[in-house]
Amino acid sequence: MTTTTSKRPSPARARLIDTATRLFYAEGIHSVGVDRVIAEAEVTRATLYKQFGGKENLVLAYLHNEDENLRAMFVAAGASVTDPEGLLDAVVEGIAADIRLRHTRGCPFINAAAEYPDAEGAVRRLIDEHREWFRGTLQSVAETAGSERPAEVAASLVLLRDAALVGGYLDGEERVAPAFERTARAVIDAHRPL
pLDDT tens-digit profile, the chain (194 residues): 444 444 567 899 999 999 999 999 999 999 999 999 999 999 999 999 999 999 999 999 999 999 999 999 888 888 888 888 888 888 899 888 888 888 889 899 999 999 999 999 999 999 999 999 999 999 999 999 999 999 999 999 999 999 999 998 999 889 999 999 999 999 999 998 87
* 130 Cβ neighbours under 8 A, 6+ residues apart: 63, 66, 67, 70, 109
What's residue 8's pLDDT? 62
**What is the SS3 string spanning 108-154?**
HHHHHHHHCCCCCCHHHHHHHHHHHHHHHHHHHHHHHCCCCCHHHHH
What's residue 1's pLDDT? 46
Alpha carbon separation from 163 to 50, 61, 107, 147 (Å, rounded): 38, 25, 9, 22
* 116 Cβ neighbours under 8 A, 6+ residues apart: 29, 123, 124, 127
* 185 Cβ neighbours under 8 A, 6+ residues apart: 89, 92
What's residue 127's pLDDT? 97
What's residue 156's pLDDT? 96
What's residue 193's pLDDT? 82
What's residue 79's pLDDT? 83
Q: Rounded distance, CA 8 to CA 40, Å?
A: 22
Whether residue 178 contacts residue 169, with contact meaning beta carbons closer than 8 Å, is answered with no
Kindly report the pTM of this predicted structure. Answer: 0.88
Whether residue 20 contacts residue 62, with contact meaning beta carbons closer than 8 Å, is answered with yes
In order, the DSSP letters of 82-108 are: -SHHHHHHHHHHHHHHIIIII-BTB-H
